[in-house]
A and B are shown apart, each in its own frame.
Chain A
């Protein structure tokens, strides 16, 4: 980042509203590309303390799609495989019987 911009940013806070979903941009992309439904992404966001409507996620996703042309849905076979793995991981993450250490280990998977 150029020093001039850094200086400006340090002294002038941004006034434009930034979507609460912005900081989950990468995760939303990843989940969507992994074959997850928007409802599931909504669940993921809620688990991370962000309560938003399906429409809001769809809108955010559409904007992302325009900006990021690499956003693709996976092939049906890959999606099925991914779902199976994700299901195991998600089940472990969400199970009350899973200890925190394991949940931390699985956090970014």
Chain B
């Protein structure tokens, strides 16, 4: 889905609906999985929220914080898109920045193919705000909703499904986003641990490390091994997201 676009704008008029989750954790991971270079523009009039300083996926060179008052943003996005052979992700900010951010992105022009991602969660106010955002953008062909945080009980989103909206992608609920973020990593980085060290090897390493005189300190072993398992779960979650994005199978979900 993302390969058809030059600019992926993650927007929403309401804060706390998962914009940052999508802009920093999900979309970069999907692009990386497609071996696609990217750059993130964060539109924020206050501070930079770049704190993934331990990330190999999102390095400081790959992101830039800009203010809505910056007159050169549009030109720079166009140049970076055309000259850089890279996808542009725009984190559209929240609150008062949002409307201005949408205007700026629209001003980028028709030559740059734009995809609008509008995240929301099970909170019905966030959903209403997502619909309002879509109306403001008025580009339904290129607008996709992100259902953030669905669980095994998808009935939580029944009111969304009842609207017969076709363009959406599901992102499962997980506390791993926060766990990764606490370490200044993205969920993609977290997943890399289990990709770098096989499970059998880490078991042996931990057994050796936490054994003394042939006795294994089970608490220490379990604590560290659980940390490793979080990485495995992160990889599983991302695989699910990759499939959702690639196949958009969620659109064909039978109600």
User: Which residues of A pack against B, CB within 8 Å?
Assistant: 81-82, 85, 88-89, 92, 98-102, 104-105, 109
Return the contact of B208 from the options A82, A99, A102 (Cβ within 8 A). Answer: A82
Distance of A98 Cα from B183 Cα, bound (Å): 17
Question: How many whole Å from B25's CB to the nearest CB in chain A?
Answer: 13
Residue of B54, B206, B209, B227 with most partner-chain A CB within 10 A: B209
Evaluate contact between B205 and A101: CB separation under 8 angstroms.
no
Q: Does B135 contact A (CB under 8 A)?
A: no
Binary flags per residue of B174-194, CB closer than 8 Å to A gives 1, else 0:
000000000101000110110
Question: How many whole Å from A7's CB to the nearest CB in chain B?
Answer: 35
What residue in chain A is nearest B56 (Cβ atoms)?
A99
Residues of A within 8 A of B189 (CB): 99-101
Distance of A90 Cα from B224 Cα, bound (Å): 17
Question: How many whole Å from B242's CB to the nearest CB in chain A?
Answer: 18
Evaluate contact between A88 and B196: CB separation under 8 angstroms.
no
Within 8 A of A (CB), among B219-249: 224, 227-228, 231
Evaluate contact between A92 and B54: CB separation under 8 angstroms.
no
Number of interface residues of B (CB under 8 A): 21
Q: A100-B189, A105-B193, A105-B231 are in contact. List 14 more A-B contacts (CB 8 A).
A: A81-B208, A82-B208, A88-B201, A92-B197, A99-B56, A99-B193, A100-B55, A100-B56, A100-B185, A101-B183, A101-B185, A102-B196, A109-B205, A109-B206
User: Which residues of B pack against A, CB within 8 Å?
Assistant: 54-56, 183, 185, 189-190, 192-193, 196-197, 201, 204-206, 208-209, 224, 227-228, 231
With A100-B54, A101-B185 already in contact, the answer to whether A92 and B208 are too (CB < 8 A) is: no
What residue in chain B is nearest A102 (Cβ atoms)?
B196
With A81-B208, A85-B208, A109-B209 already in contact, the answer to whether A101 and B192 are too (CB < 8 A) is: yes
Residues of A within 8 A of B204 (CB): 85
Sampled A-B contacts (25; CB under 8 Å) = A81-B208, A82-B208, A85-B209, A88-B205, A98-B196, A99-B189, A99-B193, A99-B196, A100-B54, A100-B189, A101-B54, A101-B55, A101-B183, A101-B189, A101-B192, A101-B193, A101-B231, A102-B193, A102-B196, A104-B54, A104-B185, A105-B227, A105-B231, A109-B206, A109-B209
Distance of A100 Cα from B201 Cα, bound (Å): 19
